[in-house]
Structure 1
């Protein structure tokens, strides 16, 4: 909220310098759109950038998804480049997140009703429907999953926590209150470190740009000369080089977790419309299957500053919860939902002595990075945007709110505290963000939830009885260390050190926790079986080189071929035309046969490792291996790769005498007499004849001929002509 005082305090030092700066001059209110919600045009100017057109002025506002800065743009410029149109930075977004993650346990939090999805209102318990006389019974599985989640987020796990009632009335809450842990949470003071979110398209574009620059920049820097002919200082960057350095080499973002608490989920409300006598009637139906399911609410501090940072934080927390197995992270099914708290802070006064360039903004962001633990001066009221279920919605809602609040602030009509939701719309010129936020209730008056201790539940004490360990042998800290799996960072470091995998392959594998275990098992099996196969092979072969190639080859087959089969199985029989157009698997249709994870693969690590061993040994070719993998996944769920190869006669012909006979039968076949005569005549097109013979030999051998040895045998046969 922009105050009416005529001074600002510098936020680079959180107000400690008390430097007085002049007030930002806003244009007259008649020159601006007074209400952003009137759907003034939002135009997409470039990937990662949107601008706001005022209805009565040439002035525009744009939002940068990467930095979270709201810019004023010169609408009179004829250039289409968004960066060249920027005039000055006006506001910085301040973002906090609240994540509701449904725990992956078989029963509900306080009852024995199952959590598996089925027809509406089938899996309900008298307690979840508030039947008189029913009492809660805490699920120990939920407590263990919550402890795992808190540990994964580096939270302090409290040995004793308490439940309390949060009173409010809504049809999907039969009890009239929610059992939660608002004041005495299970965990607190956590920390998550992550990189700002980047779309796959932007990632590929950056890789292309970096490969194009390559060593050219270094070569040019070595040749830089000053005006007097002397070499320039190698440590002093030119403006364009400094912009590239600051923009591309960002430090990881740190997000503080305020608390993590156990609580009940509510029922699921669906709205249906019926048209009768030209009258459209809306009815709401409630499914109580979800009521009472175990949730953890993860509340962060407002440490985020951009839409991409918010998306990166949610994606990282989702991956961590999936990694420890406490939540499946399926945002499209509502297993993980996100609420955003968005506000803006004026920053134009920080650039009055600069030329308002992007380099100045990046320097400012770098200088203020260490002050994120405190809110900037004059930060406006926070607006809560509820129930976002995809990364795309998180980014779009942040952008929309930043522009809406900025436009209102410029009009001297700052927004107040309110709760909004994001209404999804088809992407069009009217809705370039794919939707808009709208108010569902105002928070002008503080809501009194009448928190009170839950009288039917004792304090939650984390001991051996609750968590299932021996108090006399282990402490709580030792138990947590034993049950928490290897972290994503530790797994990535191990895969890089032990297996020498590329960063891209590691990112794909660690993105699906079951893939890490499958890779380890496959590599171990492949090494054992390759050693057995090599011991029965007569020729000398570079054993160490083949063993060293196992991890890389296994990872490539896992990331490419096996993941492709899993995805095809998930989408089989579905209309996936729209699903495949999303930016990641979270935005796929909720009607998938199963999640896209190797957890649902019918090929385990043992069979994949055996296949890799056969491929490296040379018993089968790559094309044979692909066919065998497809058969193992779809048709034969129990046979080993060796058995499938034997049944289908997938066996490489590597004996030199047999290959020579095969080559002779093709070369001297009367059907190929004309090609043989052309080869005898020689000339520059001889290689085409050799290629023709190779194709015929592979056709006759049904692809079983060893490629390299077959070419060697063909050279021997043709050499005798």
Structure 2
């Protein structure tokens, strides 16, 4: 909303890597600005009390078309808008997370254009407001409330001997509360643009303003791209519409930059227009000439009074905000001494679970499974596990096994208390790390844990299955003697001073014991047996 204008979105591009191959020759640069349209996590539409089905635009949602539509949503004459307070609160949370300055009064306007998915012939949005702050990094020029459109579906219909392109409209999405987040044209590479969108998505999810699921249409991006010689005015911009993944957004920018330069290099003029992106071919295509702001004929919305937000209301919302991503990133590094790389992985684990399908299993009552990787890590630390060990097991072992099984982290069947006990039995040398990994894999694939509701049974499981580590000479001697007898050539190599041959023999012991042997103890015993014969 114009009332939710920018101060500065700090460090939005921190960590963005430049592409290895330059898209433009020396002396040229691309200019990128992004408009993010995020559906708000609220129970009702923006101007009607109609309930909003979760991800109503998603085919997998199971919601029948045109079943969540009020007369106002369909543009019936004589119906009036009624602003829903829940949408305002969600927009304020998002604006504060984006470090915006909240001006006390904003206004709604009608943005006029004709399209089949806009039944009223105009969109109620916000255009006017005031702001005077200096921007840093990627400035947010404006955050505004607006209505979503209906969803269009196209198909070919047989009419006689012909096939005609037919448009179907689903008004479930019409009137759903959106915020539009408009950045300044401050980005110069596809990588910076991708980092910016990921950061915006993380912030929206963090404050529960939007689920940010791009694959379901909850977050859609329009990207403005132009090129120019450095030191000269910006070129004509083209807007690429409705990009629904960070990957496609970056591909579209890269293609469009090269397309525009090819036009200029051929002596042509880049025409300002709206373009789409063909995901299959990785190219942009012309849609229509780009309308300037006056073409939309913005007029004051007479049926909605100005939106007044008191400073006290803003402070109540600010005080209730959760820990934001940058704050969490800093705390994890300073509190636990983690590397930037480990923190980046830890905080990104859940971010790509857009399409995560629920995986059902019988959860144990009273067990905290910790859907967040950061919460999982901190639960391990609070259970007495050293921080570096905890992060290693979380992101290198648990995450690896979950990925191999195709299980999103948020649906992991292994709670922190079970992994903490598994780590302890490894540190106490009760079992080897390899055995621990095997047990972890079994828990994930079978979705069962050794817990009876009151007591962890990992040690009982190890004993009942004879999985304990083999460490003593008495346990290892018969195994090592058998290995030496079978690998006479390697024994001779060890005697001639080839140390790698000894490691080969240790590997044979590990295979024979299913990874249960202590590798150090086995190596020492093998060397002693070879020396004594």
Compared with structure 1, are the counterparts of its residues 435 and 93 closer, same or farther at alpha carbon in structure 2 (3 Å cutoff)? same
Q: 1:124 to 1:526 in 2, by over 3 A?
A: same
Question: For residues 335-387 of structure 1, what are the alpha-carbon distances to aligned partners after superposition, in whole Å with 9 as ceiling and x for unaligned?
Answer: 2211122333344xx6xxxxxxxxxxxxxxxxxxxxxxxxx54x333332211
Find the residue that maps to 2:74 and give its secondary structure.
coil
Q: Give 1:383-402 correspondences, 5 Å limit.
A: 383-402=238-257
With over 3 angstroms needed to count, the CA separation of the structure-2 counterparts of 1:112 and 1:711, relative to structure 1, is: farther
Instruction: State how far apart, in whole Å, the 1-side matches of 2:64 and 2:133 are.
Output: 38
Cα distance between partner residues in 2 of 1:112 and 1:654: 62
Query: How far does residue 510 in structure 1 lie from its aligned partner after superposition?
Result: 2.4
Match of 1:336 among 203, 219, 228: 219
Q: State the match for 1:451 in structure 2.
A: 299
Match of residue 173 from structure 1: 118
- Root-mean-square deviation over aligned CA pairs: 4.0
> Is 440-449 or 299-308 further displaced after alignment?
440-449
Alignment check: 8 A CA contact 1:675 1:689 kept: no
**What is the aligned partner in structure 2 of residue 599 from structure 1?**
410
Greater mean alpha carbon deviation, residues 254-263 or residues 102-111: 102-111
Larger Rg: 1
Matches within 5 A, 1:161-560: 161-184=106-129, 254-274=137-157, 279-347=162-230, 377=233, 379-406=234-261, 408=263, 414-426=269-281, 434-443=282-291, 446-453=294-301, 455=303, 457-462=304-309, 475-476=312-313, 478-512=315-349, 514-527=372-385, 550-560=386-396
Deviation of 1:695 (Å): 5.6
Measure how far apart 1:416 and its partner are: 4.5
Q: Residue 412 of structure 1: CA displacement?
A: 6.5
Distance across 2 between alignment mates of 1:392 and 1:497: 32
TM-score (norm 2): 0.76
1:121 is aligned to 2:65: yes
1:3-42 superposed matches below 5 A: none
The answer as to whether partners of 1:153 and 1:320 remain within 8 angstroms in 2 is yes
Q: Structure 2 unaligned runs (5+)? A: 1-18, 55-60, 351-371
Pair 1:511–1:678, CA change in 2 (3 A):
closer
Change beyond 3 A, Cα 1:557–1:666: closer
Q: Which runs of 5+ in 1 are unaligned?
A: 1-46, 50-63, 72-87, 193-253, 351-375, 427-433, 464-470, 528-549, 573-595
- Cα displacement string for residues 39-84 of structure 1 (whole angstroms, at most 9, x for unaligned residues): xxxxxxxx755xxxxxxxxxxxxxx34xxxx43xxxxxxxxxxxxx
Paired position in structure 2 for 1:704: 516
Change (3 A) 1:95 1:667: closer
1:164 to partner: Cα distance: 3.4
1:125-146, Cα deviation, whole Å (9 max, x unpaired): 3243345666555444433332
For 2:504 and 2:238, the matched residues in 1 are separated by 70
In structure 2, do the counterparts of structure 1 residues 139 and 612 end up closer, same or farther at CA, with 3 Å as the change threshold?
farther
Task: Kindly provide the CA deviation profile for residues 541-579 of structure 1, in whole angstroms up to 9, marking residues without a partner as x.
Answer: xxxxxxxxx222222222233333444555x8xxxxxxx
What residue is the counterpart of 1:111 in the other structure? 49
TM-score by length of 1: 0.58
Cα displacement (A) at 1:520: 1.5
Aligned to 1:666: 479
1:184, distance to aligned residue in structure 2 (A): 4.3
Is 1:683 matched with 2:495? yes
Q: CA deviation at 1:610?
A: 3.3
- Does the C-alpha gap of structure 1 residues 141 and 720 become closer, same or farther in structure 2, counting only changes over 3 Å? farther
For residues 504 and 693 of structure 1, the distance between their equivalents in structure 2, rounded to whole angstroms, comes to 36
The 2-side partners of 1:305 and 1:681 are apart by 59
